[in-house]
Structure 1
Amino acid sequence: MNKQSKDFLRLVIDHDESTPRIEGLYLVTDEGERLVERVRSALSGGVAVLQYRCKKNSPEEKVALGRELRALCVDAGIPFIVNDDPHLALELDADGVHLGQEDTSPFAARQILGPKKIVGVSTHTVREARQAEADGADYIGFGAMYPTGSKTVTHLPGPAALREVKGSVGIPVVAIGGIKRDNALSVMDGGADAVAVISSVLGDPNPAVAAAELALLFNRRLPPPRGTVLTVAGSDSGGGAGIQADLKTVTLLGAYGASAITALTAQNTRGVTGICPVPPSFVEEQITAVLSDIPVDVVKTGMLHSADIAATVAEVLERFGKRILVIDPVMLAKGGARLVDRPAVTAIREHLFPLTYLLTPNIPEAEQLTGVTIHDEAGMEEAARALHAQGVRNVLLKGGHLTEGAAVDLLFDGTGFMRFPTRRIMTKNTHGTGCTLASAIAAFLARGEPLPAAVGRAKEFITTAIRLAHPLGRGHGPVNHYLAAQEQLEHEKKLEEQP
């Protein structure tokens, strides 16, 4: 490389502060139908970078489609990168270009695009990564992490090589290849600044939710408190359930809690003696006040009390584009008092189920919502399938009301079941268990845990909280949120100290 080229590279690498940084969820387009519609949905879920890859269309079609996608990126305020072709990137006024090993050099791409554009390079080894940086790349793609159906993989360095690459270069690293929600953590913990995905988002029936659950994983890198949970529920004057239990749980588990109260209850460990519903318009005002100011990652709902409140909550959450909703369909208090009227159950099913990321019913609630009589795990599976068919994305059906064997919760995602068994604890101090479990799941999701891990950790938390509960009051005492959280934090600290 001559002196003029080296001087040019030194100049262009020094981007100003307005140059977009490559980090977060990096979406690469596919060649499928309705691409603009699916990308629009995905961007609303938290995509941070879009790479436009188009190999089949005519030049005119490539430009027309690229302009539509670029407009979406401009509206979303994210970088728009063109795959392989600096000339197409120039015509589309893209933010940059991503080059393969067989494409033109970063230096040649800059001569076409100008010094302010981003240039990325695909790499597969430490040597290639170092060379890309030396050649002036602003970031590298590295992979494949896992086998993938989008292209033939001839080299699979995997997550094990990622940490070495990250330690060898000083530019952002985008991990790519077969990355999904449940395997992304090893990639992120290996140091990837961004994770690139295609089918795990664009191949999902709901790209917005698929993108949201992947984007949420990056919260694990935030300083405490990690992530924010908004709980929309009733107030428990006894402090064991409802808003009070939710905020205790979220705070003790290391996330930030905000709230909107749907009803005031007069209750203690022996039962509910009075309910004063909040006007739906004021419920909306509370939620709007929070969502218009605070970046909320997860919304958890509990007692919604009336059909009008349920419909109002659904409308405002949809208006703000909230994708990760944990719905605890609270119907009965521990003492047997009905906390929602029957029209509210219909409204929850009609308005909230289509928005629900995770539904957490116990067996009596599942029976009311589906009409399925549950006597065993087979009945739980039937009810979970019925709830999923009503529009819920994931169902966690809690098995604590069964009397035989271990207490097993079943997580159903529409394709398969995961079992979360635990031994039964003989105690009457179980007030607020449903609220606490749902809030713990919400907190772990907000902190950047994928759903199965969030459910597993929340299950451990509530089991510990029940085991350590101290008698308080003369009825069903509350669980021990504080000591359960202490055990969780000690366990996390030990894991972090492991080499």
Structure 2
Amino acid sequence: MGECSRQFRLVINNTAQAFPPIAGVYLITDQGDNLVERVRTALVGGVSALQYRAKDKSRETLLEEGRALKQLCKRAGVVFIVNDDIHLARELDADGVHLGQDDGGIAQAREILGSGRIVGKSTHDLDEAFQAEREGADYIGFGAMYPTDSKVVSHMPGTGGLAAIRDRIKLPVVAIGGITTSNACRVIDAGADAVAVISSVLSSHRPDIAVAELKLLFNRTCPYPRGSVLTVAGSDSGGGAGIQADIKTITLLGSYAASALTALTAQNTRGVSSIHGLPPSFVVDQIATVLADIPVDVIKTGMLHTAAIVSALAELLTERTVYIPLVIDPVMVSKGGTTLLDRDSIRVVLDQLLPHAYLLTPNIPEAERLLGRAIRSEADMEQAARDLHALGPANVLLKGGHLTGRQSIDILFDGYECREYAAERAFTSNTHGTGCTYASAIAAFLAQGEPLRCAVEKAKEYITDAIRLSHPLGKGHSPVNHFAAAQHGDRQP
């Protein structure tokens, strides 16, 4: 759970320092406008270190901008490092400096900055890495991994070069050069302790989400249970859906499950006989108490029951200073037809909660209620996914199980393109808990360090198997088979 990539304790001049380890997302500034505000947003996503890299700016501008960035980092508990300029680092009282191969020696930097400061060094091969280690660097930058537009790349050892030096270097390794959410997994798998990024974060419409996505990828190096998910949902006394299905799924797939109840239901496979909602203040207290202690990687919501609970949850998320990806399964109606979210609550979901969503996962009836129109074809689904995205979620997965046809097709829209996920349709009534299970599986795989597209693909395979391997249980809509699906193939952690 939480951050568990290779952990290093910085020891500078033989004195242990209070700096966090150089690990995770190492953000380097660009030359664009509104830098301070963009960095402010990025820090919310979970940046571990910020490197101030400025070109062609006056000394006055460097000091003003640098001081603003230093203050942001101090409040966020983020290491603040100046690129190349040792004297600027001293004037800004930076936590350290990062040196290129031609920017002076490590000993000189320590003499100017004084004791207790971090000094990093750019390297391109094993010899340079060994040299930096001998000279007393606290970490090395290594690359380039891929071509980049930020500078001319003359050395590109790539992930192969990184893997070759990883076990021979004791220092934290920051991989640099052309790293994005699309290729960062390969870099982390090759042994990077941190990834240096610029445009993939600072040019993003949502820098906080871009950072959070990269940060989660480092969980792929964790032992099991890998990553943690907080599910906020109603209880299903029959055990097939709701918070019970969430916890089963998250646990069986190898993540840690925490929970916050919104309502108690008396139900079985035939339907819901009664609902007892919990006070919104108690729902929020459950969530806040968990978040104050347990390092939650992803929050997943199911049945939220009332407008007051939805509003209270949205307010709590607004007040948080650290972004946690939120997967919203907009549970509205039970399999037996009982309304689980009234019309007033739907409006609050649209206005207050959807803008917080990392991923929204409606089925077709839910999407129709959110949009107020019918969805009858795959073309309708694609347009609906785009329209739902315009309401605020960063990503939308529209599930097509309610359409007819040989295949069940889901559509993921990330704001740029649509991607289809298809599976052979199983003609069975054993589908109780399908939506809860699918969304929880996605949340678990995200928490384990899978990129969104891969997380959805793996979750689609899991829910397809859970339906296919289900057995009749009870006299109504039987639940999916969480256990058998988790045992199938190579899913067992």
Query: Structure 2-normalised TM-score?
Result: 0.94
* 1:137 and 2:130 are equivalent in the alignment: no
Quote the offset at 1:152 in angstroms.
2.4
- AA paired with 1:331? M
Name the CA distance, whole Å, in 1 between partners of 2:145 and 2:404: 45
Deviates more, 1:62-71 or 1:284-293: 284-293
Identity %: 61
C-alpha offsets along residues 24-69 of structure 1, whole Å, 9 cap, x if unaligned? 1101111112211111111111100110111121111111111111
Quote the offset at 1:236 in angstroms.
0.7
Name the CA distance, whole Å, in 2 between partners of 1:476 and 1:491: 26
Pairs aligned (count): 482
Name the CA distance, whole Å, in 1 between partners of 2:222 and 2:29: 28
Report the CA distance shift for 1:20/1:275 in structure 2 as closer, same or farther (over 3 A): closer
Residue in 2 aligned with 1:154? 154
Name the CA distance, whole Å, in 2 between partners of 1:492 and 1:25: 29
Report the CA distance shift for 1:122/1:313 in structure 2 as closer, same or farther (over 3 A): same
1:372, 1:382 within 8 Å by CA — same for their partners in 2? no
Residue in 2 aligned with 1:218? 218
Q: Report the 3-state secondary structure (helix = DSSP H, G, I; strand = E; otherwise coil) of the residue aligned with 1:438.
A: helix
Q: Report the 3-state secondary structure (helix = DSSP H, G, I; strand = E; otherwise coil) of the residue aligned with 2:327.
A: strand
Q: Report the 3-state secondary structure (helix = DSSP H, G, I; strand = E; otherwise coil) of the residue aligned with 1:380.
A: helix
User: Which residues in structure 2 correspond to 1:70-469 (within 5 Å)?
Assistant: 70-320=70-320, 321-469=322-470
Q: Report the 3-state secondary structure (helix = DSSP H, G, I; strand = E; otherwise coil) of the residue aligned with 1:335.
A: coil
Name the CA distance, whole Å, in 2 between partners of 1:430 and 1:20: 47
1:323, 1:355 within 8 Å by CA — same for their partners in 2? no
Name the CA distance, whole Å, in 2 between partners of 1:272 and 1:491: 32
- AA paired with 1:440? A
Name the CA distance, whole Å, in 2 between partners of 1:419 and 1:32: 35
Quote the offset at 1:21 in angstroms.
2.4
Name the CA distance, whole Å, in 1 between partners of 2:293 and 2:131: 44
Quote the offset at 1:492 in angstroms.
6.1
Residue in 2 aligned with 1:16? 16
Name the CA distance, whole Å, in 2 between partners of 1:254 and 1:62: 47
Residue in 2 aligned with 1:497? none
Residue in 2 aligned with 1:7? none
Quote the offset at 1:261 in angstroms.
1.2
Segments of 5+ residues of structure 2 without an aligned counterpart are: 1-10
Report the CA distance shift for 1:260/1:19 in structure 2 as closer, same or farther (over 3 A): closer
Segments of 5+ residues of structure 1 without an aligned counterpart are: 1-10, 494-499
- AA paired with 1:409? D
Name the CA distance, whole Å, in 2 between partners of 1:282 and 1:19: 37
Residue in 2 aligned with 1:4? none
Deviates more, 1:451-460 or 1:102-111: 102-111
Quote the offset at 1:160 in angstroms.
1.5
Report the CA distance shift for 1:21/1:290 in structure 2 as closer, same or farther (over 3 A): closer
1:299, 1:322 within 8 Å by CA — same for their partners in 2? no
1:19, 1:116 within 8 Å by CA — same for their partners in 2? no
Quote the offset at 1:404 in angstroms.
1.4
1:208, 1:323 within 8 Å by CA — same for their partners in 2? no
C-alpha offsets along residues 213-245 of structure 1, whole Å, 9 cap, x if unaligned? 111112222332222211111111110000110
Residue in 2 aligned with 1:69? 69
2:17, 2:116 within 8 Å by CA — same for their partners in 1? no
1:304, 1:340 within 8 Å by CA — same for their partners in 2? yes
Larger relative contact order (C-alpha < 8 A, sep ≥ 6)? Answer: 2
Alignment RMSD (CA, Å): 1.6
Q: Report the 3-state secondary structure (helix = DSSP H, G, I; strand = E; otherwise coil) of the residue aligned with 1:218.
A: helix
Quote the offset at 1:318 in angstroms.
2.2
Name the CA distance, whole Å, in 2 between partners of 1:336 and 1:420: 27
Name the CA distance, whole Å, in 1 between partners of 2:53 and 2:441: 40
